[in-house]
C-alpha cells in the first residue's frame, strides 16, 4: 500500500507521531511518502525508504503558499492509495488536493481549535472542510471525535498514539533533592510542559497559593512564552514553585516526585503523563481532553480551572502516604496497558483498509 502522510508546522508531538508512524508503516512493507514544510521535515528522523516531499503547509492560510501546496499535494496524491493528514491545516489542504484524484483521505485531529476570535473563525472553516471531505476523521481525544461527528463527519474514530518507551532514571530521589538544593524531607511536586496558556499554569500557581503551609516545592520543567510573567508572579507572591527551563533529566524528576501535577486546560494524549505512569508516579491532573483516557484510575482527576480542587488533591497526595502509594501502584499497572507500536500500526492499517473498502 502506498501511503502519503501530510503534516504542517506542528513539529512537536505531531511531528514525532508522524515520524513514528512513517517508521512503522515502512517497516511493515508499505510505500511511505511524507509531505510537509521543509523546516519540519528536516527535523524528522525517517528511514531511507521513506520519501520526503517539501510542501509549504503554514500555520495560517496564505494564498500563494496554499496554491503551491495544493498543486504539489495533488501531484503526489495521484500515486497514493490513501492520504493520511495530521492537523486541521494539513487535513484541509489534503482533502482539497486529493479530491481531484478521488484518493480517500484520513485526517487525525491532534489539538483543540484555538479560542481567539480571528483564529477560531479560520479553524471553524478548516474543521468543516475536514469533517465533510474526509473519508475518516480520527481524534486523539473523545471530545475531538464528538466535535467532528457534530460537524457531519462521515466516519470517525479514536486515534491510537503509542506511548513512549520507558526511560530509566539515572539519579535517585536523594540526588535529585541535592541537585535542587532542598532538604531530603521536603516534598517534591513535578510538572512537565511548555509554559503556554494551554497548560493552565496560572491555575497551578493559584493552587499553590493554598499550599504554602506545606514543606513542598513544585518544579516545572519546560520553556515557553509565559516564563517571564509566571516568574514575576512566583516572586511577588513567594510561591513554592520553581521554573527549571528545559531539562534532560525528566525521568529522574518524575521518579523522585511525591506528586506529579497537570493543570492543563486541554490535552490530547499527554506523552509526559504517560512517562509519569512509566515512572510509577502519584498523579493529580485536570480532567480535560484525553487525560482521563490515558490515566484510567491511575490518578486523581479534578475539574479544569478549579484551583481549590487541585490544591486539595495535591495536599491529599502529599500528606497521606497511603494515597500516594496506592496511586504509584496503579501507575505501574496502568503503564503496562498503554498503547504500543504494534497497536498503533494495527490501528493505522485498519483505518486505511476501512476507507479503501477492504474491511
Could you tell me if residue 130 is inside a domain?
Answer: yes
Q: Which residue has the higher pLDDT, 119 or 346?
A: 346
Q: What is the pLDDT of residues 264-292, one digit of tens each?
A: 999 999 999 999 999 999 999 999 999 99
Indicate if 112 and 236 belong to the same structural domain.
Answer: no
List C-alpha distances in Å: 15 to 45, 83, 229, 276, 308.
10, 16, 29, 21, 36
State the Cα–Cα distance between residues 146 and 78, nearest whole angstrom: 31
User: Could you tell me what percent of the chain has a pLDDT over 90?
Assistant: 82
Q: What is the pLDDT of residues 58-93, one digit of tens each?
A: 777 777 888 888 999 999 999 899 999 999 999 999
Question: Would you say 277 and 295 are in contact if contact means Cβ atoms under 8 Å apart?
Answer: yes
Could you tell me if residue 167 is inside a domain?
Answer: no
Indicate if 68 and 127 belong to the same structural domain.
Answer: yes
Indicate if 84 and 192 belong to the same structural domain.
Answer: no
Indicate if 154 and 278 belong to the same structural domain.
Answer: no
Could you tell me if residue 261 is inside a domain?
Answer: yes
Is the pLDDT reported for residue 57 higher than 80? yes
Indicate if 316 and 250 belong to the same structural domain.
Answer: yes
Q: What is the pLDDT of residues 225-252, one digit of tens each?
A: 999 999 999 999 999 999 999 999 999 9
User: What is the residue range of 19's domain?
Assistant: 2-162+340-355
Q: What is the pTM of this model?
A: 0.91
Report the alpha-carbon angle 351-29-51, nearest 5.
90
Indicate if 282 and 313 belong to the same structural domain.
Answer: yes
Q: Is the dihedral of CA 18, 22, 24, 25 positive or negative?
A: positive
Could you tell me if residue 215 is inside a domain?
Answer: yes
Indicate if 187 and 318 belong to the same structural domain.
Answer: yes
Indicate if 29 and 136 belong to the same structural domain.
Answer: yes
Could you tell me if residue 33 is inside a domain?
Answer: yes
Q: Which residue has the higher pLDDT, 184 or 115?
A: 184
Indicate if 198 and 287 belong to the same structural domain.
Answer: yes
Residue with cell 484524484: 101
Q: 3-class SS at 83?
A: strand
- The number of residues in the chain equals 359
Indicate if 196 and 345 belong to the same structural domain.
Answer: no
- The mean pLDDT of the chain is 93
Could you tell me if residue 318 is inside a domain?
Answer: yes
**Per-residue confidence (pLDDT) for residue 118, from 0 to 100:** 66
Rg (CA), the chain: 22
Q: What is the pLDDT of residues 140-178, one digit of tens each?
A: 999 999 999 999 999 999 999 999 999 999 999 999 999
**Per-residue confidence (pLDDT) for residue 10, from 0 to 100:** 66
Once rounded to an integer, what is the mean pLDDT over residues 181-204? 95
Could you tell me if residue 227 is inside a domain?
Answer: yes
Indicate if 211 and 186 belong to the same structural domain.
Answer: yes
List C-alpha distances in Å: 217 to 191, 275, 301, 354, 359.
11, 21, 21, 50, 53
Query: Domain with 64 in it: what CATH number?
Result: 3.40.50.2000
Count the domains in the chain: 2
Q: How many CB atoms lie within 10 A of CB 174?
A: 10
Indicate if 328 and 350 belong to the same structural domain.
Answer: no
Is the pLDDT reported for residue 6 higher than 70? yes
Q: What is the pLDDT of residues 93-140, one digit of tens each?
A: 999 999 878 899 999 999 887 776 667 778 888 999 999 999 999 999
Could you tell me if residue 168 is inside a domain?
Answer: no
Q: 3-class SS at 156?
A: strand
Name the helix (H) or strand (E) containing 221.
strand 216-221
Amino acid at each position: 500500500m502506498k501511503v502519503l502522510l501530510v503534516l504542517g508546522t506542528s513539529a512537536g508531538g505531531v511531528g514525532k507521531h508522524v515520524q513514528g508512524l512513517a517508521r512503522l508503516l515502512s517497516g511493515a512493507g508499505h510505500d511511505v511518502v511524507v509531505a510537509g514544510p521543509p523546516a519540519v521535515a528536516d527535523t524528522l528522523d525517517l528511514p531511507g525508504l521513506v520519501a520526503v516531499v517539501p510542501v509549504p503547509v503554514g500555520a495560517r492560510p496564505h494564498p500563494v503558499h496554499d496554491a503551491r501546496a495544493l498543486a504539489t499535494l495533488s501531484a503526489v496524491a495521484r500515486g497514493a492509495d490513501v492520504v493520511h493528514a495530521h492537523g486541521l491545516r494539513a487535513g484541509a489542504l489534503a482533502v482539497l488536493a486529493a479530491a481531484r484524484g478521488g484518493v480517500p483521505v484520513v485526517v487525525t485531529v491532534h489539538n483543540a481549535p484555538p479560542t481567539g476570535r480571528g483564529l477560531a473563525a479560520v479553524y471553524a472553516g478548516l474543521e468543516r472542510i475536514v469533517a465533510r471531505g474526509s473519508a475518516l476523521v480520527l481524534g486523539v481525544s473523545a471530545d475531538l471525535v464528538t466535535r467532528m461527528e457534530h460537524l457531519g463527519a462521515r466516519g470517525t474514530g479514536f486515534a491510537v498514539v503509542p506511548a513512549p518507551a520507558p526511560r530509566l532514571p539515572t539519579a535517585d530521589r536523594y540526588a535529585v533533592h541535592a541537585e535542587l538544593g532542598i532538604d531530603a524531607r521536603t516534598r517534591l511536586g513535578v510538572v512537565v510542559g511548555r509554559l503556554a496558556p494551554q497548560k493552565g499554569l496560572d491555575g497551578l500557581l493559584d493552587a499553590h497559593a493554598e499550599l504554602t503551609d506545606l514543606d513542598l516545592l513544585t518544579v516545572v520543567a519546560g520553556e515557553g512564552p509565559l516564563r517571564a510573567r509566571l516568574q514575576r508572579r512566583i516572586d511577588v507572591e513567594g510561591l513554592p514553585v520553581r521554573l527549571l527551563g528545559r531539562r534532560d533529566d525528566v525521568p529522574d524528576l518524575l521518579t523522585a516526585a511525591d506528586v506529579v501535577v497537570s493543570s492543563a486546560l486541554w490535552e490530547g494524549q499527554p506523552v509526559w503523563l504517560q512517562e509519569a505512569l512509566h515512572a510509577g508516579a502519584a498523579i493529580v491532573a485536570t480532567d480535560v481532553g484525553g487525560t482521563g483516557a490515558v490515566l484510567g484510575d491511575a490518578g486523581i482527576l479534578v475539574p479544569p480551572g478549579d484551583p481549590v480542587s487541585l490544591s486539595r488533591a495535591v495536599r491529599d497526595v502529599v500528606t497521606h502516604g497511603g494515597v500516594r502509594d496506592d496511586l504509584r501502584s496503579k501507575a505501574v499497572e496502568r503503564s503496562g496497558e498503554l498503547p504500543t507500536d504494534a497497536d498503533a500500526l494495527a490501528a493505522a492499517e485498519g483505518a486505511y483498509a476501512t476507507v479503501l473498502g477492504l474491511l
